[in-house]
Structure 1
Amino acid sequence: MVTTREWVLRRRMATQRLTSPGLPDAVDAVRLLTCVQAQEAPNALWSVGMRTRGATDDGIRAAYDAGAFLRTHILRPTWHFVAPEDLRWILGLTSPKVLSGMRGHFAKLGLDTEVAARGADVFRKILAGRTALTRREIAPHMRSAGLPDKGLPLGDLHLMNELMGVIVNGPMKGAQHTYLLVDEILPPEPELERDEALGALVHRFFAGHGPASIKDLTRWAAVTQADVRRGLDIVGDALESVEVDGTTLWFDPSVPARTAPDAPRAHLLPTYDEATLTYPALGFPVADGHPRGPEADPWIDPYASTVVVDGLNAGTWKRAPGRGVARIELKLASSLTAEQTAAVETATDRLATFLGAPREAFDPRRVEASGKNLGKNSGRGVDPGTRRS
């Protein structure tokens, strides 16, 4: 079936619960998307919050600290939120390719499988008994064992052990992430056969992100196009496809994807949100008068948080500096109508409510909302498909 970009974008937004009723709990939103990119953890909390009914920043942080969902390097060499029951089988399917692809990078840092194994021994010793330690607290123990204790080598030693399923982020300690042993927080599970895991990943991705293409999935996870085609064969009739501009897009017709009558017209989508980062080839059309200029493309700058209004990429937003407050600064397309601008104002109110503080005066070209720190977005991130340790 041939369809339009507009239909695809509407269905994606509803599938991801941005324009359809939110899910009951934060972990339900994480499960829907299978994994939620989360190297900018405060922004990722807002991604989860937008898809959860009645969510607050404090509530979702509490759910994370309680272990309702986890944060670790998975799928690609970068952090994601993932439901506990999905951690082991996804690591088993995708980590070998990630680790193999980074072998040369690790070698330049003096890291290899032997060093990673020695690091695993240290982690198992110092984190035993659910002892949650930050990277800074772990560093002296690595130094005592003759292992990397600072900088990128230490970060990548953690990364290797996350991908190997040895450690995972634990509850926050102040502003710092801690680490726990996977085996102490998750029960052992039988390993899935590769075909079973591949079918599950392919189905879950298209169910939570569809309509999407094969290339969207190979960008999202460390699998090949041949893997995805094999997974589609395994899934069979559970997925359907449509065609847009000569590209086949897959989706699960059983997933609720009806836009609610009272759905918001505007959204402040954070950096790395699954609704924008997932689709480099078929994203939101750029509104006339976009602040990035007439050549603007939503994929050119994946680090800018995106304002979406009526299915258009209508501008950018970021947190501006402020002592004790979070100021949300907007740059909007000049073509927005008064109604569309009012919809952005409402979206900013939702963000302020999520943060638990009233927002300040609204201006069409600049919005400042008081609240808690939503995370530093400097625009100096890494490539969305690579690791950030």
Structure 2
Amino acid sequence: MAAPIDRAVDRAVERGVDGATVRAERFAATGLRGPGLPDAPAVVDALLAVQGQELQPALWGLSRRVAPSSRPGRAALNTALADGDLLRTHVLRPTWHLVRPRDARWLLELTAPRVERLMASTERSWDLGDLGPGTDAVAAAVADGPRTRAEIKAELVARGVLDPDAPGLAYTQMLMHAELQRLVISGPPPAGKELQHQSYATFDDRVPAGYGPLGERFDAEAAVVELWRRYLPGRAFATVNDLRLWSDVTVRDLAPALAALLDAGEAVQVPGAGDLEGLTLVATAGTAEAWAGGAVARDDPDRPVADLLQAYDELLMSYRETRHVVLDPALPPPDRAGAYVHSLAVDGVVAGRWRWPAGRTALDVQWLRDLTPAERGALDAAVADLDNYLD
């Protein structure tokens, strides 16, 4: 069977891949189409890291990728975070991500130096001075158990490490440095606090020893190869610059790791066609074989599907050069101004923005175009799913 599949891939590569095909492949690869995964931790495993500064919407985004028969509600996902099955920290870029415990250490080792350099630029522009002493104080504050942001701040002020009149950014940067130095990470809610309350705990109490898939020792080159291996299956077709934006790892480091995967036959390069002409996209060998064999189905135009995407869904944030495949060139691109930060896609193409509901109320949407009656029915089904999740 291998030879016919290889010939099919070769023929498909000669044709190239266009935006509509890439869009369908990405909806499947990121888990928004297909049978779904067994639980939310499995979703984060498959995606490696999930951007999550809007925490509750981010958890909703995970739920959409779980098999319908076992799809969790909001309380279950917050419990997974509290129990440490999922962790939330600043990694890859200077923003929150959800990761699995076994991946936290090696991802931070790989990307923290670059993030800290970017943070240093911010600190200079704000004239925040040396925030280094604050990281040890943050670690000491959680040594006896998890603490909330407010509790840690009060202790830093009491110790004289943090000026009570300092701008809020100073304290935020202290916490981020402590995360990047692998001193603290998201913790369970302290006694008497609400489940969703942000807390911090000692890093080694929540993260196993070693470097996960890399073993007991960290190797930077092996880490970049692992980055490619984990990024591609959950993203389908992507360019080197797509991964560069997502990971903030330089092209200089990404290129040799990709070359190693190409030489080993683990990855395939495919030329872009149509609206992707001039670009070179990369996919795993398995993705390329499934694509060449027509295994991924596109949405049925007679049965539209509406997706309530969180603002920073991996379908939107995993790409740089090729993010436009989910946008309609005839419509103005959505932005994240104000409260309408989340995106509504209809049959895979962004058609509006929506606001996270305060309760069981009619969904507040800003449309980019008019919907057909069938599309409005699809939106009603998506809203019903959101209501069920929030219960």
Q: Does 1:133 align with 2:147?
A: yes
**Does the alignment pair 1:297 with 2:324?**
no
Determine whether 1:77 maps to 2:112.
no
C-alpha distance in 2, partners of 1:253/1:326? 45
- Partner residue of 2:40? 26
Residue correspondences, number: 345
Which blocks of at least 5 consecutive residues in structure 1 are unaligned? 289-293, 357-389
Residue pair 1:210, 1:249 contacting (<8 A) in 2 also: no
* Shift in alpha-carbon separation, 1:284–1:300, aligned structure 2, 3 A: farther
Is the counterpart of residue 47 in structure 1 residue 82 in structure 2?
no
Query: Residues 359-383 of structure 1: CA distance to partner in whole angstroms, max 9, x if unpaired?
Result: xxxxxxxxxxxxxxxxxxxxxxxxx
Shift in CA distance, 121/281, structure 1 to aligned 2, threshold 3 Å: closer
Looking at structure 1, the residues matched to 181 and 36 of structure 2 have their Cα atoms a distance apart, in angstroms, of 33
SS in 2 for 1:297: coil
Trace 1:1-389 onto structure 2 (pairs within 5 A): 1=13, 2-53=16-67, 54-107=71-124, 108-112=126-130, 115-116=131-132, 118-129=133-144, 131-148=145-162, 151-172=168-189, 173-174=193-194, 175-189=196-210, 190-236=216-262, 237-244=265-272, 245-254=277-286, 258-259=296-297, 265-282=305-322, 283-287=324-328, 296-298=332-334, 304-319=341-356, 325=360, 327-356=362-391
Deviation of residue 58 (structure 1)? 1.3
Q: Which amino acid aligns with 2:138?
A: F
Identity of aligned residues (%): 30
Please give the per-residue CA displacement for 1:326-352, whole angstroms capped at 9, x wherever unaligned. 542123344432222211221111111
CA distance in 2, matches of 1:227, 1:352: 44
Regions of 4+ moved over 6 Å: 260-264, 299-303
Partners of 1:349 and 1:318 in 2: CA distance: 15
CA change 1:152–1:105 in 2 (3 A) is same
- Cα distance in 2 for partners of 1:265, 1:274 equals 18
Give the direction of change, closer, same or farther, for the CA distance of 1:261–1:154 in structure 2 (3 Å limit): closer
- TM-score normalized by structure 2? 0.81
In 2: Cα distance, 1:280 partner to 1:352 partner: 32
What secondary structure sits across from 1:207 in the alignment? Answer: coil
Structure 2, unaligned runs of 5 or more: 1-12, 211-215
Q: Deviations over 1:258-306 (max 9, x none)?
A: 3499997221111111111223433345458xxxxx5512578797311
Counterpart secondary structure, 1:250: strand
Q: Is the 8 A contact 2:148 2:200 kept in 1?
A: yes
Secondary structure of the 1:95 match is: helix
More helix by share: 2
